[in-house]
Amino acid sequence: MYNIKLSRPCIDSECIEQVVSVLKSGWLSQGSKVFEFEDAIKKQLNIDYSLAVNSATSGLHIALLALGVGQGDEVIVPAFTWVATANVVELCGAKPVFVDIDLETFNTNPNKILLKITKKTKAIIIVHLFGKPFDVILLRSFLPTRIYIIEDAACALGARVNGNYCGTTGDVGVFSFHPRKSITTGEGGMVITKNRDIYDRMNMLRNHGQDTRHKENSPSFMFDCPIVGFNYRMTDFQAALGLPQLKKLNAVIEYRKSLAVLYRKRLSNNSGIYLPNEENFETHAWQSYVISVMPRSIRDEIMLKLAEEGVETRPGTHAVHTLTYYKNTYNLDPGNFQNAYEAFRTTISLPLHNLMTFKDVYYISDRLMEIIDAIQ
């Protein structure tokens, strides 16, 4: 019987050798491998500053704090995203202001962003959901200069729009290395920026508030802590796991694209399935392959029957405004953001990873079509 996982990390012998080497070295916390990983990301994305962290959530948190987001501020976030995007705003004492999405892309609707801007708007978190690029430069052209843009590019390492890498065109970009991503460090993330002041502040926030810019050559020297910070550091063995994978990032994305193209070819004849696409001006990262099925009433039955056929799936992501905390705190109803709610109820994330074969895509597509035909 088939057993096709939603996602599987691609860990080869070089990754294992690199991790074992670090374990044998005796230096396991943040050290030379982390700094090497940061440098490799800078070169990959042609960016000035990068910081490895223990998760993308931590990266988003220190990005907001470094930009001065706090009590009384508003931060615009998508209503359809992983809950961490909104949680970090709450953790800063600010208010998340939800915006509905475009069902064609699952990304935030730019026009609806502009309608949500007030005098209290301090920042906007743009999510490149499932690896689909959002045009940050175009949005920036309509914004007051006082508003910061943070790119939640957790799913979008290597994605581009009009030649620009996702994560590099806002004030701060954040990536994830969770096992469902194209490259993984188990848990972990990376924060990037072009601004030295933002970098310095995030660097302190990452490491207990310590200011490491000035060091005295004395055995009794300890770094000063001018601010309160966190322990959001990445370990060296995590970085060692990510480095060999990063070298293959372009090939990883290309293979995922080939699987996505085959999915489209196999499923495009069914009018009840909406398929993701890649425009000619963008490079999709294909972190996930997320479809929508209509009518919405058949979504859960499809997922259950695919599981019986050995195919693991899950919904696209959260409609955050329907989660208990946000629903109760801000008195929100599902219909407040209709597209996000619709996406939550109709999306299915199909298996997509670099250990899949074209044969797997044929199998999944055939089973999906058979199930839909049988239900309808």
pLDDT at 214: 77
pLDDT at 219: 80
Task: Return the closest-CA partner of residue 279 out of 139, 179, 126, 161.
Answer: 161
pLDDT at 78: 98
pLDDT at 221: 84
User: Which CATH class name applies to 249-375?
Assistant: alpha beta
Q: Running DSSP on this structure, what letter comes out for residue 235?
A: P
Please report the beta strands in the chain, taking only residues with DSSP state E, as ranges in sequence order.
Answer: 49-53, 74-78, 95-99, 121-127, 148-152, 160-161, 164-165, 172-176, 189-193, 273-274, 282-283, 289-293, 347-350
Q: Tell me the residue type at 291.
A: I
pLDDT at 91: 98
Residues 6+ apart with CB under 8 A from 28: 22, 235, 236, 237
Q: Tell me the residue type at 356.
A: M
> Looking up tokens 């090497």, which residue turns up?
36
Per domain, the residue ranges of the chain are 13-100+107-246, 249-375
- Order of strands across the sheet with 273-274? 273-274, 289-293, 347-350
Q: Which residues are catalytic?
A: 181
pLDDT at 147: 98
Per-residue pLDDT of the chain (376 residues; tens, 9 = 90+): 789 999 999 999 999 999 999 999 999 999 999 999 999 999 999 999 999 999 999 999 999 999 999 999 999 999 999 999 999 999 999 999 999 999 999 999 999 999 999 999 999 999 999 999 999 999 999 999 999 999 999 999 999 999 999 999 999 999 999 999 999 999 999 999 999 999 999 999 999 999 888 777 788 788 888 899 999 999 999 999 999 999 999 999 999 999 999 999 999 988 889 999 999 999 999 999 999 999 989 999 999 999 999 999 999 999 999 999 999 999 999 999 999 999 999 999 999 999 999 999 999 999 999 999 998 7
Task: Return the closest-CA partner of residue 63 out of 120, 122, 119, 114.
Answer: 122
Contact of 168 with 47, CB cutoff 8 Å: yes
3-state helix, strand, coil in the chain (%, to 5): 40, 15, 40
pLDDT at 198: 98
13-100+107-246: CATH topology: Aspartate Aminotransferase; domain 2 (3.40.640)
